[in-house]
Amino acid sequence: MSLTVAIGRTKRTEALFDGSVADPALPLDLPTIPMISRAFAPMVREGRYPVSEMAIATFLMAREAGAPIVLLPCVLAARFQEAALLCRADGPIRSPGDLRGARIGVRAYSQTTGMWLRGTLAERFGIAAGEMRWITFEDAHVASYRDPPFAERAPQGATLEGMLKAGEIDAAIFGADMPADAAFRPVFADPQAAGVAFEAAHGFVPVNHLLVARADIARDRADDLARLLALLARAGASVTPRAALAPALTLAAHFCAAQGLTARTLTLDEIWHGTPPGLG
User: What pLDDT digit, counting tens, does each position of 124-143 carry?
Assistant: 999 999 999 999 999 999 99
Mean pLDDT of 108-118: 98
Residue 176 has pLDDT above 80, yes or no: no
Query: How confident is the model at residue 247, as a pLDDT?
Result: 98
Q: How far out from the chain centre does Cα 221 lie?
A: 26
Portion of the chain with pLDDT greater than 90, in percent: 96
* Phi/psi at 105 (5° precision): -90, 145
Residue-wise pLDDT for 55-100, tens only, equals: 999 999 999 999 999 999 999 999 999 999 999 999 999 999 999 9
- Identify the CA nearest to 118 among candidates 42, 50, 34, 187: 187
Query: How confident is the model at residue 280, as a pLDDT?
Result: 80
DSSP, residue by residue, 45-89? HH--SSEEEEEHHHHHHHHHHT-SEEEEEEEEEE---GGGEEEET
Query: How confident is the model at residue 177, as a pLDDT?
Result: 79
Q: Is 43 exposed, middle or buried (0-12, 13-18, 19+ CB in 10 A)?
A: buried
Whether 81 contacts 55, CB under 8 Å: no
Q: What single letter denotes the amino acid at residue 244? A: A
Distance, in Å, from the CA atom of 45 to the CA atom of 196, rounded to the nearest integer, reads 36
Residue-wise pLDDT for 212-261, tens only, equals: 999 999 999 999 999 999 999 999 999 999 999 999 999 999 999 999 99
Average of per-residue pLDDT values in the chain: 97
Query: How confident is the model at residue 155, as a pLDDT?
Result: 97
DSSP 155: P
Considering the entire predicted model, what is its pTM? Answer: 0.96
Residue-wise pLDDT for 28-41, tens only, equals: 999 999 999 999 99
Query: How confident is the model at residue 175, as a pLDDT?
Result: 83
